[in-house]
């Protein structure tokens, strides 16, 4: 059993968990909720995007550009699998 | 800390992390400040129009009654001018924020209010032509019911006391169905507080509590005031709850120090 290393990182796990609860969240929301720096958040988001776990939606709110993030089906499946693996490891640890 | 205690605290942290989707959904569902601002804007605008036109018409009527034709005519002319200006203003507003731009005004207000926190949205129920037609039709039926019961009360078929309880018979199912078919999951179950309070108000009146208007001119307020008052309340509670949900969410997700800046 191998834990998904992309999701296992604390900030990325939190990003994935936030996105699994809503349809879409924008950059600002993730920034204020996680307390990361802009650069750091961008880097984590890029990693998740390149893994195909989330997709970026660029739009305009009036005249202001807005970047929203959405969890993909692949991301949703990976997150479910991640928790199943974590729970299995925890149970294994308890039984030892 | 021994290893058992360490494992226990790790388990607790993991369980907390699993609560993130719940809190973020609750937060997104209860971002109701935009609705409160919109409702307040509509109420203030309606009150302003009613007061302005009412004052001008009263002035005109007083002028005619006293034989002062100039005052009467000026009152009527200014009322017409005010109504024309308001109509033009509404046409401009609808052309800018109606039709294809429907929801743009809400979006702008939302962005302005929540500019510091950003945006998180829950899925909006899919709209179809059939759904929109049904929405308009049920809205028309709803207003016909209100005006019919008001008219029946004035004609003496419904006692003023029972005007609000009678209205609860159609308002409560309308609001519950409206929430279920059109608003959920965009709005959380906190919105159901509205029909509960409205029904509670009706029950209190039937039980003999004098919370209604008894004159012909004011009897419609027996419906309007509870409708508006109880309409605001769930949104205010929703807003307070969204603050709580955000605090809970930040408590779980906020990263500090090395964890925040590490890869």
Report how far Cα B216 is from the mean position of its chain's Cα atoms. 27
Q: Quick check: A14 and A69 in contact, CB under 8 A? A: no
B196 HSE (CA, 13 A, CB side) = 7
Look at B253 and A18 and tell me if their CB atoms are within 8 Å: yes
Chain B residues inside the 8 Å CB shell of A21: 20-25, 28
Q: What's the distance, Cα to Cα, between the start and end of chain B in Å? A: 27
- Which stretches within chain B are classed as H helix? 3-17, 20-29, 33-65, 69-97, 104-113, 129-155, 163-178, 193-206, 221-253, 257-261
Distance from C-alpha of A10 to C-alpha of B260, rounded to nearest angstrom: 8
Q: What is the pLDDT of residues B161-218, one digit of tens each?
A: 999 999 999 999 998 888 887 766 677 788 889 999 999 999 999 999 998 888 888 8
Q: What is the pLDDT of residues B52-92, one digit of tens each?
A: 988 988 988 998 888 888 888 988 999 899 889 988 888 88
Look at B117 and A28 and tell me if their CB atoms are within 8 Å: yes
Distance from C-alpha of B143 to C-alpha of B148, rounded to nearest angstrom: 8
Distance from C-alpha of A35 to C-alpha of A21, rounded to nearest angstrom: 19
Domains and their CATH numbers in chain A:
5-87 (1.10.10.10)
Residue A1 near chain B (CB below 8 Å) = no
């Amino acid at each position: 059993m191998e834990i998904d290393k992309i999701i296992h990182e604390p900030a990325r796990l939190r990003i994935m968990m936030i996105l699994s609860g809503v349809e879409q969240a924008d950059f600002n929301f993730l920034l204020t909720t996680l307390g990361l720096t802009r650069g750091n958040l961008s880097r984590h988001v890029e990693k998740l995007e390149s893994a195909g776990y989330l997709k970026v939606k660029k739009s305009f709110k009036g005249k202001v550009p807005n970047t929203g993030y959405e969890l993909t089906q692949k991301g949703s499946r990976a997150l479910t699998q991640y928790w199943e693996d974590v729970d299995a490891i925890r149970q294994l640890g308890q039984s030892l | 800390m021994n290893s058992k205690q360490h494992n226990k605290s790790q388990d607790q942290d993991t369980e907390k992390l699993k609560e993130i989707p719940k809190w973020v959904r609750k937060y997104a569902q209860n971002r109701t400040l935009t609705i409160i601002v919109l409702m307040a804007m509509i109420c203030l605008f309606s009150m302003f129009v009613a007061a302005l036109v009412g004052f001008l018409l009263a002035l005109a009527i007083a002028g005619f009654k006293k034989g002062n034709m100039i005052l009467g005519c000026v009152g009527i002319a200014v009322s017409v001018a005010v109504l024309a200006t308001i109509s033009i203003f509404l046409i401009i507003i609808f052309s800018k924020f109606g039709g294809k731009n429907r929801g743009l005004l809400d979006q702008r207000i939302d962005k302005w209010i929540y500019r510091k926190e950003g945006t998180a949205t829950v899925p909006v129920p899919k709209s179809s032509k059939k759904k929109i037609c049904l929405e308009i039709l049920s809205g028309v039926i709803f207003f016909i019911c209100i005006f019919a019961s008001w008219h029946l009360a004035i004609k003496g078929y419904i006692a003023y006391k029972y005007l609000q309880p009678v209205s609860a018979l159609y308002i409560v199912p309308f609001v519950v169905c409206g929430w279920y078919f059109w608003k959920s999951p965009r709005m959380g179950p906190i919105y159901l507080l509205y029909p509960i309070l409205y029904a509670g108000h009706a029950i209190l009146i039937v039980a003999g509590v004098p919370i209604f208007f008894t004159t012909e001119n004011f009897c419609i307020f027996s419906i309007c005031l509870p409708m508006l008052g109880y309409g605001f309340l769930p949104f205010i509670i929703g807003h307070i709850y969204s603050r709580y949900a955000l605090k809970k969410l930040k408590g779980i997700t906020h990263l500090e120090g090395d964890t925040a800046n590490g890869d």
